[in-house]
Amino acid sequence: MFNLESIVRPNVLKMKPYSSARDEFKGTATVFIDANENNLGSLAGKNYNRYPDPHQRKLKERIAEIKSVLPNQIFLGNGSDEAIDLLLRLFCRPGQDALLSFPPTYGMYEVSANLNEVRIDEVQLTADDFQIPVEKVLQNIKPETKIIFICSPNNPTGNSINAKSIEAVLRGFEGVVVIDEAYIDFAESPSWTNRLKEFPNLVVLQTFSKAWGMAGLRLGLAFASVEIISLLDKIKPPYNINESTQELALAALEKSEELKFMIEEILQERELLTKALPTLYAVIEVYPSDANFILVKVKDAQEMYNYLLEKGIVVRNRSSVPGCQNCLRISVGTLEENQQLIQAMTNFPIQD
Ligand SMILES: Cc1ncc(COP(=O)(O)O)c(C=O)c1O
């Protein structure tokens, strides 16, 4: 049985959160001289002399409507990277606890674990189809394991993790299961946010950095039970989402039609790349993708990387990642960029 209090770090349960000026005064007033702001105005314009809403109320209300969850089931972070770090700090005691993840996967789980002095246990995804070997995973759960990170669709492999495997992990583990859905908007499978009620140990991460095209604004989301979200709110830096990000995100949320069109175009372009690249001499395999990138195995990734760079095209060389030997991760670009890539790779000199 999942028991939240028993896995939260005791110091977090005990601590008092920071109380901001905006928290302490509620009501109406005309003179705000309680937060050491510059009341003369802002050199950046607008109302940027004022601290932003620490609870991001308007933004959460709108996101809640769109995602069919309650506003207090949403945590907003300075990118989902902030949510990853705070989840570790919420549940894992430095030098004592551990997390479990499935490489090849997103690198920040490991970086955050190392920063927080949390042991990282790893079970490799299956070699042929990058899936979770459920039996092995359940055997690798230790008393110190507090969080399991599942990235689906997975970065850098691009595939979604089977729902049945995820469900088995959710049911077989008494700690927190984080499903990182950064790329969910490009996948056909539904989000796990639909199943939050069923699993009190589930945290779903999403981000505005991918489909929404807002990587520069830094806005990530965590969805979970009201109890888990209130603990994340307790430990976050008070003003972690700046005012312009809150305003711009609120406006972007009204552009659902444009979002749909952009996703459709990216999916069409992904399809085009998925068909064109395997026909090329230099390409060994193009892995199926549910994301806005594809993983491509070539004969010699370093040579191809250098060659593309000479042509002014930057891809991500994932060759040094175990399980991704000779693989390049290629983001889906615009029609013109993708044609440029295909043209360049077609002209890659044949070597014996
Ligand atoms: C799987 C995954 N999770 C999280 C992130 C971080 O997203 P954000 O920009 O919201 O910090 C990335 C970024 O590439 C990612 O690939």
DSSP string, 160-195: PPPHHHHHHHHHH-SSEEEEE-TTGGGSSSPPGGGG
Q: What is the C-alpha separation between 7 and 144, in angstroms, rounded?
A: 10
List, as one string, the DSSP characters of 91-129. H--TTT-EEEE-SSS-THHHHHHHHTT-EEEE-PPPTTT
Q: Which two tokens stand for residue 94?
A: 């430095």
284 φ, ψ to 5°?
A: -95, -45
Atom from ligand 1 closest to the CA of residue 106: 1
Q: What is the C-alpha separation between 296 and 328, in angstroms, rounded?
A: 5
Q: What is the C-alpha separation between 295 and 337, in angstroms, rounded?
A: 17
CATH of domain 257-346: 3.90.1150.10
Q: What CATH number does domain 4-254 carry, 3.40.640.10, 3.10.105.10, 3.40.50.2000, 3.40.1010.10?
A: 3.40.640.10
Q: State the pLDDT at residue 352.
A: 62
User: Quick one: which H or E segment has residue 14?
Assistant: helix 10-14
Is there an atom of ligand 1 within 6 Å of 209 CB?
yes
pLDDT per residue rounded down to tens, the chain (352 residues): 899 999 999 999 999 999 988 788 888 999 999 999 999 999 998 899 999 999 999 999 999 999 999 999 999 999 999 999 999 999 999 999 999 999 999 999 999 999 999 999 999 999 999 999 999 999 989 999 999 999 999 999 999 999 999 999 999 999 999 999 999 999 999 999 999 999 999 999 999 999 999 999 999 999 999 999 999 999 999 999 999 999 999 999 999 999 999 999 999 999 999 999 999 999 999 999 999 999 999 999 999 999 999 999 999 999 999 999 999 999 999 999 999 999 999 999 987 6
Same fold: 4-254 with 257-346 = no
Is there an atom of ligand 1 within 6 Å of 180 CB?
yes
Is there an atom of ligand 1 within 6 Å of 160 CB?
no
Q: What is the C-alpha separation between 158 and 209, in angstroms, rounded?
A: 16
Q: State the pLDDT at residue 24.
A: 85
Domain ranges of the chain: 4-254, 257-346
Q: Which two tokens stand for residue 19?
A: 């109380």
Atom from ligand 1 closest to the CA of residue 220: 10
Atom from ligand 1 closest to the CA of residue 82: 11
Give the contacts of 204 (CB within 8 A, at least 6 positions apart): 178, 179, 181, 191, 192, 193, 196, 222, 223, 224
